[in-house]
Structure 1
Amino acid sequence: MNQLQSVAAKFAEGSLVKQILVGLIAGIALAALAPEAAKSVAVLGNFFVSALKAVAPILVFILVASSIANKNPDQATNMRPIIGLYLLGTLAASVTAVVMSFMFPTTLALTADAASANPPEGIGEVINTLLFNVVDNPVNALMTGNFIGILAWGVALGLSLHRASDATKQVFKDVSDGITSIVRVVIRFAPFGIFGLVANTIATTGFDALWGYSHLLAVLLGAMALIAFVLNPAIVFWKTKQNPYPLVFQCLRESGVTAFFTRSSAANVPVNMALCKKLGLHEDTYSVSIPLGATINMAGAAITITVLTLAAVHTQGVEVDLATAVLLSVVAAVSACGASGVAGGSLLLIPLACSLFGISNDVAMQVVAVGFIIGVIQDSAETALNSSTDVLFTAAADIAANNQKA
């Protein structure tokens, strides 16, 4: 019994990143050696993702309400510069994707069946959905993981409790600490979750289906890598006047790796909050900026929408002028902010972007189908970029604020 407790203690105190790496390697090995057995461990991955999704909404709601209720009026939260960085990063991503798509044009064999989905019909519908999410029923928002609605209710409750008694505020703080402790326990099981996700994904899909779309994947992943390793660091350097790469690599390692395999910005919210706490950022800031980033900070989604739309454009032989390319960048950036925080959320916005070029919905939905085929890689990389950037920009704004005070 003592030996079992010793092993459990070593596991709990060990490096989470190293444990995830072990889980990743073990998952690949199992899928290669015993594909059927690998499919059977999918329950580990599904259980882990479900646990994250279950705890994330209540964590955000309680943490936001508690942070605002207990906030010192003299303490700045740096939200304005963070939102500015989110929007700048998403727009830069869509512009980069346009440039990459024209430098390396992609054509598709549109023979896939149209996906059975219901995409938005216009940019107005995307904005309309966002606005109605704000006034969603709080119980429904918690049940469905509507983080815009959760944030709105958390902020409203926090403001209402700002003048409450100290005892009431302390209750919310204690509940917040309790939920945070539960999140830490869930995150410690990430290695087992990653093991199940990787093993099942490789055993089920493999990489044969991806080979026919290697050029498209290369453009997508190249644009995302350019954002992650060049443009985002440049934005952080501009904001902080410090070497950005230690922070960039830490965010990619401790947030991006988990997001890559969960393929859900919403599920990665607890992971990002834990990383922000580890970095010593202000809780009043990251308790709002991280769930907000999971909704509106969508550089990877902007890249996906732009690249796949221009792949359809090139396939159809449509001429694109500079003005339309700029418009596509803006529409992709705005649409990306309305992308769902779940796997494949950005793909359903491709028909909206395709409509700018007069491409029919039938053709656009075939492009969406292609997106689902390559989604095992594309959506994973997209989510890793989106989610890790939430922490990166939050930390950059916090560092910049501290530098101004010094």
Structure 2
Amino acid sequence: MATIEKKSFWQQYGSLILILGGIIVGALIGAFAPSVGTTIKPIGDIFLNLLFTIVVPLVFVSIASAVGSMANMKRLGKILGSTIGTFIFTGLIAAACVLIWVNLFSPSAGTNIDMTVTEAGEAKTAAELLVSSLTVSDFSDLWDKSNMLPLIIFAIIFGFCVSACGGDESPMGKLLNNLNDIIMKFVGVIMLVAPLGLGAYFANLVATYGPEIVGDYGRSMLVYYPLCALYFIIFFPLYAFLAGGKQGVKVMFKHIFRPAITAFATQSSAATIPVNKEACDSIGVPEDVSDLVLPMGCTMHMDGSVLSSIVKIAFLYGIFDMQFTGVETYAMAIIVAILSAFVLSGAPGGGLVGEMLIVSMFNFPAEAFPIIATLGFIFDPAATCLNSSGDTIASMMVTRIVEGKDWLMKAMAAKKTEQA
């Protein structure tokens, strides 16, 4: 039996160091040479566009092939049920944490913002919101990355039909599996230029918006960003421990930073799916689990957005001299936070639907909309970082439920056998 070659430090962490280095250099360029930062913006746009163009086929093919190859529909139901349960579990914990936090540290204390009346647009009814979140009116709209949840539902139904018509052995099953391999190879090619692309994107970001994130909104940043850091440091290891014990925590810290940094830099859950997929494969999460959990997490697993939504609500309560207290207020905040996070798309900035939902459901005046939209921009990097990197940990938790408590040890043993 051949000896197992131990990877060097650079082989394990080289790509992460390059990506982080590119972002740091880009941020410095944006801060000290903003004209250069805006000039190199097209490089970052090209990289993001490459990621975005692969996201929709990646989501569709990975889900359809995973479901289509399942002969055991009971396993599919267990994965889907465990996924939704995990998302709700972590979302409620995030909501409880942020409610405690904003009562300890008010995000609006000492803030003085001039109100400007702005039309927030016509809010959708609950029924309209449900329909638009789950479905689209035209087949071509499925291939728009802003309609991720309808695409996921379509892919699950399509995969179920493939399974019913021959599964892996059918021509369509073989085609989907081959396409899945091709797309992952394509992702690997794109990620070769990630340090350059993310560096250029961040350089323009800092050059364009750097001055706007200080001043009246500085207090909210001092409340929100430490909260995100604490959630990452305390609860992510806890979730990983629940998923795989002490070894789960070790592999989580080994593989979580690349998705986290990519999400923070791109501010896009969709753009981070390919990186999360690589992390899950390296950890040993079964493909049928990650192929379902990651795309669903892109739209539905939004711990960071739950944190940011409640901080935004508490901020507006303070701005308009309202008391953010009471069980009814907290319950409403949790419901609105989860709903607003649920309807966010995977595109940078998350869209303004969540902000509109908060303003309309709490009956804030129209001038609250530009305030909360600004907060959305300020909070988005950290929120997306938690949302997207948390998808990898959610995949580990779902695997623990589906495969049993020894899943990680078995996965690591299988990898050693393959390398031997």
Equivalent in the alignment of 2:186:
182
Supply the distance in 2 between the matched residues of 1:364 and 1:247 (Cα, whole angstroms): 43
Q: Is residue 2:151 matched to residue 1:150?
A: yes
Displacement of 1:384 in angstroms is: 0.6
Q: Quick check: 1:110–1:363 contact (8 Å CA) kept in 2?
A: no
Equivalent in the alignment of 2:340:
335
Supply the distance in 1 between the matched residues of 2:86 and 2:214 (Cα, whole angstroms): 33
Q: Is residue 2:108 matched to residue 1:110?
A: no
Instruction: Normalising by structure 1, report the TM-score.
Output: 0.87
Q: CA 1:119–1:246 in structure 2 vs 1: closer, same or farther (change >3 Å)? A: farther
Q: Pairwise mapping of residues 89-108 of structure 1 onto structure 2 (< 5 A)? A: 89-107=90-108, 108=111
Q: Is residue 2:328 matched to residue 1:323?
A: yes
Residue from 159, 163, 166 that aligns with 1:164: 166
Q: Is residue 2:371 matched to residue 1:367?
A: yes
- Of 245-254 and 154-163, deviating more is 245-254
What RMSD, in angstroms, separates the aligned Cα atoms of the two structures?
2.7
Q: Deviations over 1:221-255 (max 9, x none)?
A: 12222322223333443444436543443454111
Q: CA 1:296–1:251 in structure 2 vs 1: closer, same or farther (change >3 Å)? A: farther
Residue from 111, 124, 134 that aligns with 1:131: 134
Structure 1 residue runs of 5 or longer lacking an equivalent are 1-10
Q: Quick check: 1:115–1:369 contact (8 Å CA) kept in 2?
A: no
Supply the distance in 1 between the matched residues of 2:59 and 2:400 (Cα, whole angstroms): 23
Report the identity percentage. 23
Q: Which amino acid aligns with 2:338?
A: A
Q: Quick check: 2:25–2:199 contact (8 Å CA) kept in 1?
A: yes
Displacement of 1:404 in angstroms is: 3.9
Equivalent in the alignment of 2:382:
381
Q: Which amino acid aligns with 1:110?
A: I
- Of 210-219 and 261-270, deviating more is 210-219
Q: CA 1:122–1:346 in structure 2 vs 1: closer, same or farther (change >3 Å)? A: farther
Displacement of 1:117 in angstroms is: 5.4
Residue from 230, 234, 237 that aligns with 2:238: 234
Equivalent in the alignment of 1:6:
none
Q: Deviations over 1:307-346 (max 9, x none)?
A: 1111111222223322221221122123211122222226
Q: Which amino acid aligns with 2:281?
A: K
Q: Which amino acid aligns with 1:71?
A: M
Equivalent in the alignment of 1:191:
195
Equivalent in the alignment of 1:260:
264
Q: Is residue 2:284 matched to residue 1:285?
A: no
Alignment partner of 2:264: what SS?
Answer: helix
Aligned length: 390
Instruction: Normalising by structure 2, report the TM-score.
Output: 0.84
Q: Which amino acid aligns with 2:59?
A: V
Displacement of 1:138 in angstroms is: 3.6
Supply the distance in 1 between the matched residues of 2:331 and 2:245 (Cα, whole angstroms): 30
Equivalent in the alignment of 1:394:
395
Equivalent in the alignment of 1:220:
224
Equivalent in the alignment of 1:69:
68
Q: CA 1:145–1:157 in structure 2 vs 1: closer, same or farther (change >3 Å)? A: same
Equivalent in the alignment of 1:3:
none
Q: Which amino acid aligns with 1:389?
A: G
Alignment partner of 2:195: what SS?
Answer: helix
Q: CA 1:32–1:303 in structure 2 vs 1: closer, same or farther (change >3 Å)? A: closer
Q: Quick check: 2:263–2:385 contact (8 Å CA) kept in 1?
A: yes
Structure 2 residue runs of 5 or longer lacking an equivalent are 1-9, 408-420
Q: CA 1:284–1:116 in structure 2 vs 1: closer, same or farther (change >3 Å)? A: farther
Displacement of 1:74 in angstroms is: 7.9
Alignment partner of 2:257: what SS?
Answer: helix
